Amino acid sequence: AVLDGAGLIVDALFGAGLNRAPEGKAATLIEAAAGSGLPVVAVDVPSGLFGDDGSAPGPVAPAALTVTFFRRKPGHLLLPGRTLCGETRVADIGIDALVLDAIGPRLHENGPALWRAALPQAAPAQHKYDRGHPLILAGGSLTGAARLAARAARRTGAGLLTVVAPESALPAFRADWPGAMALPTERWDGLLADRRLGPVLIGPGGGAGPALRQAVAAVRDAGKSLVLDADGLASYAGEPQALAGLLDADCVLTPHQGEFDRLFGKAEAPRLVRALQAAAAVGAVVVLKGADTIIAAPDGHAVVNANAPPTLATGGTGDVLAGIVLGLTAQGMPGFEAACAAVWLHGAAAQQVGAGLIAEDVIDALPKVLDRLLDRL
């Protein structure tokens, strides 16, 4: 009855520290608010939303506006919290920014401020060999994934790029674009031995199985960094321990949720917790893709990305993301910063394209996004 005749609900029952579902009269009131049709303004977070992981195990009244304080909380960015919060505004209530030094946060919202200083820029005295020469190990039947990744790596700034594929697939790669090299798998060992080449992307269209596992081991034996995606991840399904000790903090894994579950197993823990556990377990950067992509480092730092539009839910965009990571690491960007930058660039390029997006559009939109970042526009 307290809602009768109201025109607006200010929800201040529970804050971001809640760690159990609302019960009793509180739950009843939240359910009534959710069903009232009235606009809701939430203080800190909508009541019932967990601020540390964005989950909502009980009733929540979705807010049109959420006003929080000092800094956003993980629950404002992670789903379903981001949707339940509506528009989120951060209010200044006089907390000094120096407080962050004492807190030592290990979780951040993704954005250029985190990695812009490490973003590669072409210098006047550079030549193509200075800008990196990554490798992609491709399969023989489904060439599209590797072709998308290769084009994305080149658009991101890699000076040269070589795709290694079975002889039968080489015409498809050579006909697609003349600016990349396509060589037969017989050249693989020699390319790995060349210290000028690397890092290496394994997985897009590669065909899951023991051969890819052998290729991963060979890459690491050669001292090269690795981006592992798609079939490369599937080759270790249920055996993440086989990657432990093989990778390092400059290696990047890029699973979507299904690939992540097949590799690490299903669990009830929040996505953020699972991504951090996975990164620590394999000793590499894990990019858990989704509308709220999480980039987790093995040292316990993590970044949540919130700029990805729903139009990215189309075939091939994951291959494009792997290619962007490859292109950035080839130019010397550390694995974690490269992964964060790649995810943000991927989302920004998709935003620029808008409706009707296909994977190729993301690649073509990258130059203007990079120009804006590097203050060339």
Q: Which residue has the tokens 């090299």?
A: 181
| Grouped pLDDT means (10 residues each) for the chain, 377 residues | 94 96 97 97 98 96 98 96 98 94 94 96 84 94 93 96 95 85 96 96 93 97 97 97 96 98 96 97 98 97 97 98 98 98 98 98 97 78
Dihedral of the CA atoms 308, 313, 315, 316 (nearest 10)?
10
Residue 375, both tokens: 């203050």
Cβ–Cβ < 8 Å for 212, 203: yes
Of the options 3.40.50.10260, 3.40.50.2000, 3.40.30.10, 3.40.50.150, the CATH number for the domain spanning 9-105: 3.40.50.10260
Query: What pLDDT, on the 0 to 100 scale, is given for residue 377?
Result: 46
Q: What angle do CA 74, 79, 83 make, to 5 degrees?
A: 105
Boundaries of every domain in the chain:
9-105, 112-373
SS3 279: helix
Q: Alpha carbon of 295 to those of 17, 86, 198, 257, 348: distances in Å?
A: 23, 23, 22, 13, 16
The CATH superfamily holding the domain 112-373 is: Ribokinase (3.40.1190.20)
Query: What pLDDT, on the 0 to 100 scale, is given for residue 142?
Result: 86
Q: What angle do CA 302, 57, 285 make, to 5 degrees?
A: 15
Task: Give dist(CA 202, CA 217) in Å, integer.
Answer: 11
Query: What pLDDT, on the 0 to 100 scale, is given for residue 376?
Result: 57
SS3 110: coil
Which residues fall within 8 angstroms of residue 119, CB to CB, at 6 or more apart?
A: 112, 328, 333, 341, 373, 374
